[in-house]
Amino acid sequence: MAVIRKFERPNSDQDLPPVRAKRNRNHQGHDESNWLISYADMMTLLCVFYIMLFSMSKVNTPEFEKVKQQVAEHFGTKYESPTEDLGKFVTQIIQEAGVAKEVTVTSDGVSVSLAFHSTLFFGTMSAEVSNEGKLILDRIVNGLKEKQQGLGKEYKFVVEGHTDSQPVVGGPFPSNWELSSARATRVIRLFLENGFKASNLLAIGYADTQPVADSRNSDGSWNVENLGKNRRVVLRVLLPEVDTIPWNMKPTAGPAPASVVPPMSPPSP
């Protein structure tokens, strides 16, 4: 007589063999959100990767400072310019030299600029620094040298020579280009003589291409006061963090001189 056995599916893991019971438990306990762990690991690695790229890149310091200032203003906090201390330092130097009224000090967040009326350093049609100018420059140069030594970093310097729009008539310089370049180079030489690195120095002669005021009045005559403003020597002191010395910076206005050299006769139109 045949015996028919009825096989029923077990209702629990207790009735299954050990291997099948383990597989069943693993399947029932599987969490479909486990993929988040791998995803989070991947995002962490990407974040670290981009941080490494950023650390090896060169930051545009002027633009970065602008962003910092805008963020500070947006949240109502005080923005502290990295050139604030340097600006106070050079201002103190020119005050001690007694020429504060003849110098304009400005800052753009990455540099401090000192605009001198050209007659403070140079005579008419001359590129030789006057005795008074040498005393002033010696104070500035020595002060900045001590400042950067205490800081342990080196500033970068740009000296700009600017003339007015009147044409050069006679003298050793054929045009305003040679005159402005010679004046800027002469100031740079004082930095070299005091041990500053040539790679941190830049002399630029702009001639009359960077005026800060209109040279002529509405009737076409020369504006004597504005001509005096345009004749200037600008010293820019850039922070050590600035990677390269920029030459195409915005013009810095000089102070209104107490007296100006009488203008030459204008050329025939």
DSSP for 13-50, written as a single string: GGGS-HHHHHHHHHHHT--GGGHHHHHHHHHHHHHHHH
Separation CA 61–CA 65 (nearest Å)? 6
Q: What is the model's pTM?
A: 0.69
User: Cα angle vertex 169, ends 164, 121, to 5°?
Assistant: 50
The per-residue pLDDT for 35 is 74
| 256 — pLDDT class (breaks 50, 70, 90) | very low
- CB proximity list for 59: less than 8 A, separation 6 or greater: none
Whose CA is closest to 234, among 189, 204, 263?
A: 204
pLDDT of residue 37: 77
| pLDDT recorded at residue 245 | 74
CATH of 84-238, one of 3.40.630.20, 3.20.20.80, 3.90.1570.10, 3.30.1330.60: 3.30.1330.60
Question: Is the distance from CB of 254 to CB of 172 less than 8 angstroms?
Answer: no
Distance in angstroms (rounded) separating the CA atoms of residues 25 and 28: 5
The dihedral built from the CA positions of residue 264, 228, 250 and 114, taken in this order, carries a sign that is positive
DSSP codes of every residue in 112-153: EEEEEEGGGTB-TT--SBPHHHHHHHHHHHHHHHHHHHHHTS
Burial pattern 80-95, b for ≥16 Cβ within 10 A else e, equals: ebebeebbebbeebbe
Please name the helix (run of DSSP H) or strand (run of DSSP E) that holds residue 207, with its range, or none.
strand 201-207
pLDDT tens digits along 26-44? 555 556 667 777 888 888 8
Q: Which residue has the higher pLDDT, 99 or 34?
A: 99
Q: What pLDDT shows up at residue 262?
A: 32
Average pLDDT over residues 103-108: 89
pLDDT at 154: 94
End-to-end Cα separation, the chain, in angstroms: 136
- Average of per-residue pLDDT across 2-9: 54
Beta strand pairing call for 103-107 and 201-207: unpaired
Is 104 in a helix, a strand, or coil? strand
pLDDT at 147: 93
pLDDT at 4: 54
> What are the boundaries of each domain within the chain?
84-238
- CA atoms of 118 and 243, how far apart (whole Å): 29
Binning pLDDT at 50, 70 and 90, where does residue 265 land? very low
State the pLDDT at residue 242.
83
Least confident residue range of 48-62, 71-85, 120-134, 138-152: 48-62
Contact 215, 222 (CB under 8 A): yes
Q: Between residues 170 and 164, which one has the greater pLDDT?
A: 164
CB atoms within 10 A of CB 43: 10
